[in-house]
Amino acid sequence: MSQESHEGGVPELGERMYALCEELFPICRSITGDGVRETLRIVGRHIPLEISEVPTGTPVFDWTVPKEWNIRDAYIRDPRGRKVVDFQALNLHVVNYSVPVRTRLPLEALKAHLFSLPDRPQLVPYRTSYYKETWGFCLAHERLLALEDGEYEVVVDSTLEPGSLSYGECVLPGDSTEEVLISAHVCHPSLANDNLSGIALATYLARALAGRPHRYTYRFIFAPGTIGSITWLARNEDVVPRIRHGLVVSCVGDGGGPTYKRSRQGSAEIDRAVAHVLAHCGRAGVKVEDFSPYGYDERQYCSPGFDLPVGLFERSKYGTFPEYHTSGDNLDFIQVEALNDSYRWISQVISILEDNACYLNTHPKCEPQLGKRGLYNAVGGSNDSASIQMAMLWVLNLSDGGNSLLDIAERAGIPFETVHRAASLLADAQLLTAC
C-alpha cells in the first residue's frame, strides 16, 4: 500500500470530514440513548457498521451497563417567565444524564444545580453525572451572575430507564486475521474537536481502507467512552489476542500538536510508527509522550489485564486548550486543513504497519554490485535518487534478519516510505528475500 494511494493528499477529504462533523454536531449524545444511535446511523451511511445493543444491567467486568438516558427538552425560566437556560439552544446546558425534574425553587437553592466557569465567563461547561442520579444545568458564568433573585421554574424532560448501550463496529477483513484497532468515542454532545473530529476521521479512514486490499484486518470501534470500551472488551475477549496495533483517535481537528501518547508497552510497533511519522512530519509542535493511565479509552485497552499496544493520537492534548469540554469546542474550533493533516499522518502510520517487514540480503558478503543491475543512480530526480541510493545501502547492510524496515528507517534517519521503496527495488532485483 503506497502513500500516494491514500486520499490524504486529496483536499476535499478534509471538507468531507468537516461536513460530517457539521451533520453530527447538533445531536445530543451521551453514553447511552438515541443520540448515540442517530450518530451511528449517520456513520453507517459511509461505512459498513454493525450496531450492538447491550441491555441495561449487563455486567461488564467490574461495571454494569447503566440505565438508558434520553432527553426531549430542558429549560430554566426566571421569575419573569423568560427562558434563561435552554437545552434547545445548546445541549451542553443540561448536565448529561440529568434525571427528570419539574419544580420551582428560589435562586439560592437552584444555584446548587448550576455549573459555570468563572475563569472563562463566556463559555458553557460540559458536565456529566452518569453514576450519581441528580440533575443540573451548565451556563456561562456571566449569565449566572446576571440571574435575579426570585423563584425559578426548572424542567428536565428526560428519561432514565432500563434500555441498552449502543456501539458500532466496522470490521474490514484483510489478508491476515491479525487486527489493527481504531477506536473513537461517541458520547460527547455538541463538542466538535472532542469527539466529532475523531468520529469523522475514523469514518473516512475506514471508507478508504474498505476500498482497497490490505494485510491486516481493521476494526473500527465507535463506542461511548469508558463504559463503551469496557463493554466491547468484556464481550470480545476472544478478539483481543488478535489485536497487533491500535490507536485511539480524538481531538484531531484543531491546529495544535500533533500529540501522541505511547501505549503502556512504550515501544510497541505502533508507538514507533507514529513517532517516526511525526519525526518526519515537518511540524514544530510535535509531542510524543509516555503512557499515563489518564485520558481516553486507551486507559481500558492498556489496563494491565490486556496491555494492548494502543496509543492515543491527538492534535492539541485533551485538557490543555481553553475550549476543552466547553461550548468553545464548536464547529469554529476545528479546521478542514487540520483534519486533513491528521488524516494524512494516520494514513502514513497505517502504511508503515502494512508495509513493515523483515528481509534478508541475499548477497550479505560485501556489497552487491548495484550498477550491473541498473540500481546505481537508477531513480530519476537527483535528491530523491540520492536518498533512495542511501536507503538501498542501509537496507542491504541491515537486512540480516534482525531488522525490520522500520528498524532500518529509524537507524538511518530516513523516512519509512523511502526505505520501503528501496527495499522494493532490491527485492525486485532479487537482492532481498522475505525473512
Residues of the shown chain interacting with its own copies in the complex, contacts defined by CB under 8 A: 60-63, 131-132, 226, 229-230, 233-234, 264, 290, 292-294, 299-300, 302-307, 361, 363-369, 371-372, 390, 393-394, 396-400, 411-412
- Taking the complex as a whole, the smallest distance from the CB of residue 271 to its own copies amounts, in Å, to 16
Contacts of 258 (CB under 8 A, 6+ apart): 278, 281, 283, 285, 286, 287, 313, 314, 315, 341, 342, 345
- State the Cα–Cα distance between residues 340 and 11, nearest whole angstrom: 7
- Taking the complex as a whole, the smallest distance from the CB of residue 98 to its own copies amounts, in Å, to 17
For its own copies, give the closer residue by CB, 351 or 361.
361
**8-state DSSP, 373:** G
- State the Cα–Cα distance between residues 199 and 115, nearest whole angstrom: 28
- Taking the complex as a whole, the smallest distance from the CB of residue 38 to its own copies amounts, in Å, to 27
182 burial via Cβ count (<10 Å: 0-12, 13-18, 19+): buried
For its own copies, give the closer residue by CB, 61 or 122.
61
For its own copies, give the closer residue by CB, 25 or 63.
63
CA distances from 125 to 120, 128, 326, 362 (A): 9, 10, 4, 62
- State the Cα–Cα distance between residues 130 and 97, nearest whole angstrom: 6
- Taking the complex as a whole, the smallest distance from the CB of residue 4 to its own copies amounts, in Å, to 27
**8-state DSSP, 375:** -
For its own copies, give the closer residue by CB, 3 or 418.
418
**Cα angle 150, 155, 157; round to 5:** 175
- State the Cα–Cα distance between residues 230 and 225, nearest whole angstrom: 9
For its own copies, give the closer residue by CB, 151 or 400.
400
- Taking the complex as a whole, the smallest distance from the CB of residue 391 to its own copies amounts, in Å, to 10
- Taking the complex as a whole, the smallest distance from the CB of residue 37 to its own copies amounts, in Å, to 24
Contact 391/422 with Cβ under 8 angstroms? Answer: yes
- Taking the complex as a whole, the smallest distance from the CB of residue 396 to its own copies amounts, in Å, to 7
332 burial via Cβ count (<10 Å: 0-12, 13-18, 19+): exposed
For its own copies, give the closer residue by CB, 186 or 370.
370
- Taking the complex as a whole, the smallest distance from the CB of residue 344 to its own copies amounts, in Å, to 29
* C-alpha cell read off for 36: 448515540
- Taking the complex as a whole, the smallest distance from the CB of residue 320 to its own copies amounts, in Å, to 16
Contact 168/40 with Cβ under 8 angstroms? Answer: yes
What is the helix (H) or strand (E) element at residue 433, kind and residue range?
A: strand 432-434
For its own copies, give the closer residue by CB, 252 or 302.
302
For its own copies, give the closer residue by CB, 10 or 234.
234
Count of CB atoms situated within 10 Å of the CB of 377: 13
- Taking the complex as a whole, the smallest distance from the CB of residue 390 to its own copies amounts, in Å, to 6
Q: CA nearest 131: which of 87, 185, 65? A: 65
- State the Cα–Cα distance between residues 217 and 177, nearest whole angstrom: 6
For its own copies, give the closer residue by CB, 14 or 136.
136
- Taking the complex as a whole, the smallest distance from the CB of residue 393 to its own copies amounts, in Å, to 4
For its own copies, give the closer residue by CB, 163 or 295.
295
Q: CA nearest 274: which of 265, 292, 286? A: 286
- State the Cα–Cα distance between residues 203 and 217, nearest whole angstrom: 16
For its own copies, give the closer residue by CB, 208 or 408.
408
* C-alpha cell read off for 29: 449524545
Q: Cell 425559578, residue?
A: 152
